[in-house]
Structure 1
Amino acid sequence: MKRLVMIALSLLLLLTACAPNFKKEDEVVQNNKSDSKEKAIIPKYQISDQYYRTILPFKPGEARGLVVNNLNTRYDINEFETGLMRVALKNFSPDKYFFQEGQYLKKKTVGLWLNRQFTPEQLAAEGLKEDENIGLNPLDDGVGDLKTRNEKSPIYLAHILEHDYLTKDDNGNVHLDGVVIGLALNSVYYYTTVQYGDVFERKIPHDELERKGKEIAAEVAKRIRGVEGLGDVPVTIALFEQADKSSVVPGNFFAYANMSEGSNSLGGWEAVDEKYYLFPSESATKDHRADVTFFQNFKQDVEEYFPNFNGVIGKAFYIGSQLNEVSISIPIQFYGKAEGVGFTQYVTGLVMEHFPDYVTVQVSITSVNGPEALIIRKADQNEPIVHIYQ
């Protein structure tokens, strides 16, 4: 009996020594903007090497909420933020850096920067002081009718987004070590000529948008150095071209430039070769006919299951000329859970049959009752992940 007890104790000690560390967070000390210190937490678990761990407790960005009013669609709102994180990956590795929403550009500051430049008369009408005449959009000189003036001087800059990246030293202190600024630019400027009147639009060619965006970015870079706490940290500024209001796919980032530690100006611009397409669409067929063909074959097989159904649409994400990911939506009406399960199994087989291994595919099946099923086949994975909602 004594021997059995000793063996049990030995096994217990061995298992305890070999047991994994289930502690899920790392307590650190964060140096904030006022040079005071406060406790913070870094989660130990990282979803993937494409996502940053976020400093906790979560601190909302200083300019939180403005994005909803300033961008055209929820697609652009989501892509502006997630795309900015992809830009950050180029300089700030998730293995070393931790994410925090922007804490340095105040809501009022961002609002003033998004204004037009004003004449003294316009400034008085807006109720602003002379030192608040810091808009980054062009002056409306008041010459000509409203349509002429808006066509001549459109609003280029729609929104500014700040993301902060922090590192931890050997003493468990975290501090700001990088900032990424996104500038959302209008591909279409919408305006009215009279109050509650018709809405007009002025399409902004990409070349014009890029030129103006880089001019605005150069000015933002200078101003950043005057913001308390941002005097010498590395900064990346990225340009995002938002889609028009009717688009069902988002716009994309197209360029970024870096300002090194202690520098007061941006370095050379680097291209971001990313783009979204609607599948099927004329533009997708023109630029990527082969990819649209295997999507159409998938769509045709889905519609054979429900002959009167033709609601399969996809959002395709390209990096360079390479298809990286396809997100497919299938809204359909089921008459029972068993039918939904059977359809999900059928679609899962079609995903494995029609799409190349190097493409990540996500299929969302919905009904009038809400989400029914989610199918995810990651790139280079032989087995899909399938979840049927209860």
Structure 2
Amino acid sequence: MKKKTALLFSLLMSVLLISACSKNTNSNSNNTAKTSGTTTNKGYQTTGKTTDSDYQGVIQDGKYKTNAARGVGISQNADNLLNLKSFESGMTALSKDQFSPNKYVFQEGQILSKSTIENWLGRVSSSNPTGLNPKDNGQKDAAKRNPIYVQQIEEQDYMNENNGKLSLGGITIGIGMNRKDYYQKEEYGSTYTSDISQAEMIKQGRIAAAKVLDRVRKQNGVSANTPIMIAMFQQAENDSLVGGSFYAYTVSKNGNEISNWNNTNLSSYTFPATATKSVPNDNDETSFEGFQNKIKNFFPNLAGVTAQGQYKNKTLQGLKVNITTQFYSETEITSFTQYVAQAAKNYLPSGIPIDITVKGADGTVQSFLSRQSGNGNFYTHVFSSY
């Protein structure tokens, strides 16, 4: 979570599109994002970027180049959509340390096809020799069956832009690993769980990463010295209130051997803390409780105030707050948003990026607040109903 997240980007784009029928509650014009696309004479265009920490994207023939394989995963282990959001935003955040937004242009993965990733995520068999997961041993008992270890794979490409041409400058491959494998003994039957130890998850992840690196090196357009980052992600459980976290990464600058792994020391936590999992720093929990109590006391029509925090070691790196209301009047939403901005400034930890999303009971986004790292004031936007 650095500065603007993917959610902020998409919401800001919505703001630009509906600005004629919506209004800002923040009079600080310094927070208004400015974008400018750059057209080349080679048939592609870059999107421009809102801040120096953002990547420019690639537009080809007037259309954004999407990743056809985005979101491919094992269906029974994909109930927690927060995993996908944490997976994608975490990949981009880790990639910025290796592929600087000031030097590279972001392109959605174009090398690995949807069918390729689907085959890799399958079990190895005579009909699917490229499967990264072990063959089905026919067992139904949770402790005896071969579980699904590798849950999802995604590719991000980082392009060099020189003399009006784009060339592949680097690749990030994210690999999502399960700690729990959900399965059914019979179709439409009850769901059971095979537990996977952390040590086994890491072991199987490294085996899969070595195979993936070797295979990616052999793809068309990838050279022996194309830098490839492989980032390992631990999936959160299906009923978790937070997404998973990246736990390790490696960078291969040439060849297909992995010489070392780097621990990220990243982890995600829920606010307020649960009985089984407290946050690393009690001061952060106290700050959130103060914020939560302040807005609940002033506006009683709230269904819930929760947050997801990401830590590196024991230091909070960023916070995503979700507030569910029972407001229907636009004046109520506007007043509430203004009050939340002040309460967040006074109570939530300073010096870190914070995103706050206010939703109605039906899931409709009513307003959005965001603060960049090191900034004291929040950008706010209320979405009008017309």
TM bin (shorter chain): 0.7 to 0.9
**Partner residue in 1 for 2:326:** 333
**Partner residue in 1 for 2:99:** 92
SS of equivalent residue, structure 2 residue 286: helix
State the AA in 2 paired with 1:95: N
**Alignment pair present for 1:349 and 2:362:** no
Residue 101 (structure 1) shift: 1.4
State the AA in 2 paired with 1:134: T
SS of equivalent residue, structure 1 residue 365: strand
**Alignment pair present for 1:204 and 2:196:** yes
Q: Distance in 1 between matches of 2:186 and 2:325?
A: 43
The correspondence for 1:24, drawn from 32, 37, 40, is: 37
Higher relative contact order (CA 8 A, sep 6+): 2
The sequence identity of aligned pairs, in percent, is 29
TM-score where L is the length of structure 2: 0.82
**Partner residue in 2 for 1:133:** 129
**Alignment pair present for 1:376 and 2:370:** yes
Residues 351 and 361, structure 1, Cα contact 8 Å, conserved in 2: no
Q: Distance in 2 between matches of 1:383 and 1:308?
A: 25
Residue 279 (structure 1) shift: 0.3
The correspondence for 1:52, drawn from 55, 58, 75, is: 55
Q: Deviations over 1:198-251 (max 9, x none)?
A: 110012222211111011101111222222222322111111111111112100
Residues 67 and 77, structure 1, Cα contact 8 Å, conserved in 2: no
Say which one has the larger Rg: 1
Q: Deviations over 1:138-193 (max 9, x none)?
A: 12234xx4225x74411100111111111022x32211121111111112101111
Q: Distance in 1 between matches of 2:120 and 2:83?
A: 20
Residues 224 and 231, structure 1, Cα contact 8 Å, conserved in 2: no
**Partner residue in 1 for 2:116:** 109
SS of equivalent residue, structure 2 residue 49: coil
| Pair 1:298–1:135, CA change in 2 (3 A) | same
Residue 74 (structure 1) shift: 1.8
Q: Which moved more, 1:353-362 or 1:83-92?
A: 353-362
Q: Distance in 1 between matches of 2:279 and 2:161?
A: 48
| Structure 2: runs of 5 or more not aligned | 1-34
SS of equivalent residue, structure 2 residue 304: coil
Residues 177 and 205, structure 2, Cα contact 8 Å, conserved in 1: yes
TM-score where L is the length of structure 1: 0.81
SS of equivalent residue, structure 1 residue 287: coil
Q: Distance in 1 between matches of 2:357 and 2:216?
A: 41
State the AA in 2 paired with 1:184: G
**Partner residue in 2 for 1:389:** 383
Q: Aligned-pair RMSD on alpha carbons?
A: 2.3
State the AA in 2 paired with 1:237: I
Residues 46 and 53, structure 1, Cα contact 8 Å, conserved in 2: yes
Residues 73 and 118, structure 2, Cα contact 8 Å, conserved in 1: no
**Partner residue in 1 for 2:67:** 61
Aligned length: 343
**Partner residue in 2 for 1:16:** none
The correspondence for 2:231, drawn from 213, 238, 242, is: 238
| Pair 1:309–1:96, CA change in 2 (3 A) | closer
**Alignment pair present for 1:323 and 2:291:** no
**Alignment pair present for 1:187 and 2:176:** no
Where is the helix percentage greater, Structure 1 or Structure 2?
1
Q: Distance in 1 between matches of 2:212 and 2:130?
A: 11
Q: Distance in 2 between matches of 1:307 and 1:335?
A: 14
Q: Distance in 2 between matches of 1:350 and 1:165?
A: 39
Q: Distance in 1 between matches of 2:359 and 2:68?
A: 36
Q: Distance in 2 between matches of 1:387 and 1:321?
A: 32
Q: Deviations over 1:343-379 (max 9, x none)?
A: 2222222111112321222222222473332222333
Alignment of 1:280-319 (within 5 A): 280-282=272-274, 285=278, 287-307=280-300, 309=302, 311-319=304-312
Residue 67 (structure 1) shift: 4.4
State the AA in 2 paired with 1:202: S
Q: Deviations over 1:262-301 (max 9, x none)?
A: x121231011122221101235535222111110111111
